[in-house]
Structure 1
Amino acid sequence: MILHELIDFEILRVIWWALLGVLLIGFALTDGFDMGVGALLPFVARTDTERRVAINTVGPVWEGNQVWFILGGGAIFAAWPPLYAVSFSGFYLAMFAVLAALILRPVAFKYRSKRADARWRRGWDWALFVGGAVPALLFGVAVGNVLLGVPFYLTEDLFSVYDGSFYGKFLGLLRPFALLAGVVSLAMLLMHGAAWLSLKAEGAVAARARRYGTVAGLVALAGYAAAGVWLAFGVEGYRMVGEVVRDGPSNPLFSEVERGGSWLAAYAERPWIVVAPVMGFLGILLAVAGLRAGREVSTLLWSKMAITGIIASVGLTMFPFILPSTVNPSSSLTVWDSSSSHLTLFVMLVATAIFMPLILAYTAWVYKVLWGKVTEEDVTGPGHSY
């Protein structure tokens, strides 16, 4: 038997679907609080010293946290090539806006404190705000559009065609439901950033973060509930019809898909997936309660649970769909027909099994070394700080 045949193709596809979700959740759990802190910066810190305290809570870790974003993009490219091709071409302008914001952020970190001029520093503070708020909003908008379906189709030779104008590729994404998903994403990460500041800062910065984080958590809670109702009654779902071949060739045109019913029908078919939205709602409620009570470590953990539940609820609700098509439902990308080859998925899984524990161990060690609060004395005294 060939080595890669030890694991069925069907199982490998599910494993890589799950791993993609793990990478996206890992990005939101780590770089999410970085973006949240950046978006909160102009509001929770009123003096230059307070802003430096807030910035230095994430300064030593934000670069490492972005590894999850790179890993997620790499996983899409290697494990789900059609998804990479369609999403990066159809969402091109939105992706460009996200990358521009993410590029602006490191420049702001590095240049902000190079000059003592107040206007110079204020400008870079707003750059950090943009670098945090814009990606947090647009990632949610992207998820909302995935649930609504994307206007693309595949030709007979599997060439993807996006049905829309150049500018429509950005403005067309700003649909009401997608904007609501963007608000949920932004509010969720603001709450996460506030939980981080509550843990890592002290005094006025931590107190203001708790107030803003409480409001953001309540907005996330209401928005997530509203999105669920909207999804149940205002968004048409997708379903596979006929015989579903789970270990066949990676050709979406071989599958028959139709629109109809509700995405939430998945909860009748697989009742156990209700654990994800329960984690989302409960995590937000407990994080908000923790922020109001001034608890620190537990609040951050509850916030992480909320993010895990909210993101997982999308993937579990849509399974096996990854990217539905509104133009030709049979061009929709699913777990069963849009992956790389059996051998490619197996080799990648072996590499992941080797390197992922190393990444996790190193990340845990870094956070252990950097444990503790950032004080005003830390940023005003001798030594390196942002």
Structure 2
Amino acid sequence: MIGSLALTQLQQIWWIIVSLVGALFIFMTFVQGGQTLLFTLPRTEDEKTLIINSLGRKWELTFTTLVLFGGALFAAFPLFYATSFGGAYWVWISILFTFVIQAVSYEYRKKPNNVLGARTYEVFLFVNGSLGLLLIGAAIGTFFTGSNFLLNDYNFVKWMHPLRGLEAAFNLFNVSLGVFLIFHARVLGSLYLANNLAHADLVSRAQRAAFINLLCALPFLLVVLGGLVTMDGYAVDPATGTVFVEAGKYLGNLFALPLNLVLLLAGLVLVVAGVVLAQFKGSTRGIWFSGLGTVLVVLALLFLAGFNETAFYPSKVDLQSSLTIFNASSSHYTLTAMTYIALAIPFVLAYIIYVWRSMDAGKMSLDDINKDGHNEVY
């Protein structure tokens, strides 16, 4: 059955898969959000260590999801991978650097004879959760605002800006999306800690922090949503493949694809519902409402960028160099083989859920990190 699918169908399937992985990654950034709370949420060193050990159980899943997202893009849409990672390399190197220092921090923060000191590694964790997400938001923003690249007849990439991708951080829409991701991650991090910790005072503070950070995120969310419904977009003529600027393209996509509008609105409602339940009902299960809402919102945004004859990686320098899911994808053979392999995804997800539930079978308390001095990991 899969082998009989047309190339365009496979391209659409793989944009959905890539979008889902990207959405799961944004949900997993609750780890980064929790890291940015290290200097405000805990009141004692033990509480800080408790938070770090709670997040330390999940940081590898976040990094793995990011790598999986990049790998899926490379396999399904290699021209995008070559263009963005090959041309805008400074922004991607900067992002990866923040994740490298995150890994180093969890490994060495509590090592004996730590020359740099624990606080240095805590600052590294904050950098990963702030600068890292800001740059990721700016990179995602270029799916809508465009980038400065030129492709020749042989698809050789020439980047037309000396900052090599970092210039995206000077665009209001891109920066607003990045700052929103920071505050949103702090919301998710607060809700995750409220769900994972057996510490009444910390849980109460985390629930309050989720509400405050949601309020901080709202202005930037309004800038992003306002930008999407008012900005010009990059449309593709399905007959000729010609890319052209279309007024109100992304607003038009919302109405042309009603499912997108449902996903976006339902996702926003669920994110807010998770915070409201935590703040006003004292619930510790808000992370699951806000987490599902996050996945739905990111899916809606990526569908806006890729579907309905839209260039998902537009070039501001040369419109005809813009990338679509059709001209940037792998061959029919490659996508077919990958789709057969993707049939194993439900089993992988089931295993991840099983491991997650096993790791979180009980809430983490101060006793878990202090008992005999053996259970403290990070």
Structure 1 length-normalised TM: 0.90
| Counterpart residue type for residue 353 of structure 2 | A
Alpha carbons 1:214, 1:292 under 8 Å: kept: yes
1:374 Cα offset (Å): 1.0
Deviations 1:316-372 (A, max 9, x none): 222333211111112111112210000100111111212x23321221121111222
* Whole-angstrom CA distance in 1 between matches of 2:238 and 2:44: 63
Deviations 1:1-40 (A, max 9, x none): xx8642221111111000000111122223x111111111
Which residue matches 1:176?
172
Which residue matches 1:252?
none
Question: After the TM superposition, which residues 88-107 of structure 1 pair with which residues of structure 2 at under 5 Å, given as runs?
Answer: 88-107=85-104
Alpha carbons 1:221, 1:281 under 8 Å: kept: no
Alpha carbons 1:323, 1:334 under 8 Å: kept: yes
Which residue matches 2:27?
29
- SS of the equivalent of 1:259 reads strand
1:134 Cα offset (Å): 2.1
Alpha carbons 1:217, 1:287 under 8 Å: kept: no
* Structure 1 ranges of 4+ moved more than 3 A: 115-119
Which residue matches 1:295?
283
* Whole-angstrom CA distance in 2 between matches of 1:231 and 1:82: 25
- SS of the equivalent of 2:170 reads coil
1:126 Cα offset (Å): 1.3
Q: CA RMSD in A?
A: 2.0
Alpha carbons 1:273, 1:313 under 8 Å: kept: yes
Which residue matches 2:221?
224
Alpha carbons 1:150, 1:323 under 8 Å: kept: yes
| Counterpart residue type for residue 257 of structure 2 | R
1:203 aligns with 2:200: yes
| Counterpart residue type for residue 147 of structure 1 | F
Which residue matches 1:249?
none
| Unmatched runs of 5 consecutive residues or more in structure 2 | none
1:204 Cα offset (Å): 2.8
Alpha carbons 1:279, 1:308 under 8 Å: kept: no
Which residue matches 1:330?
320
| Counterpart residue type for residue 301 of structure 2 | V
* Whole-angstrom CA distance in 1 between matches of 2:305 and 2:102: 33
1:95 Cα offset (Å): 1.0
> Could you tell me the percent identity over the aligned residues?
26
1:110 Cα offset (Å): 1.4
Alpha carbons 2:33, 2:190 under 8 Å: kept: yes
1:71 aligns with 2:57: no
1:6 aligns with 2:9: no
* Whole-angstrom CA distance in 2 between matches of 1:86 and 1:360: 30
Match of 1:311 among 290, 298, 301: 298
* Whole-angstrom CA distance in 2 between matches of 1:140 and 1:152: 19
1:60 Cα offset (Å): 2.3
Match of 1:134 among 115, 131, 146: 131
Question: After the TM superposition, which residues 146-185 of structure 1 pair with which residues of structure 2 at under 5 Å, given as runs?
Answer: 146-165=143-162, 167=163, 169-185=165-181
1:226 Cα offset (Å): 2.4
* Whole-angstrom CA distance in 2 between matches of 1:134 and 1:261: 32
Alpha carbons 1:49, 1:376 under 8 Å: kept: yes
| Counterpart residue type for residue 329 of structure 2 | S
Which residue matches 1:379?
369
Question: After the TM superposition, which residues 212-251 of structure 1 pair with which residues of structure 2 at under 5 Å, given as runs?
Answer: 212-233=209-230, 235-241=231-237, 243=239
Between stretches 19-28 and 275-284, larger displacement belongs to 275-284
1:103 Cα offset (Å): 0.6
* Whole-angstrom CA distance in 2 between matches of 1:89 and 1:318: 21
Alpha carbons 1:141, 1:178 under 8 Å: kept: yes
Structure 2 length-normalised TM: 0.92
* Whole-angstrom CA distance in 2 between matches of 1:308 and 1:158: 33
| Unmatched runs of 5 consecutive residues or more in structure 1 | 245-254
1:174 Cα offset (Å): 2.2
Between stretches 99-108 and 279-288, larger displacement belongs to 279-288
1:349 aligns with 2:339: yes
Which residue matches 2:266?
279
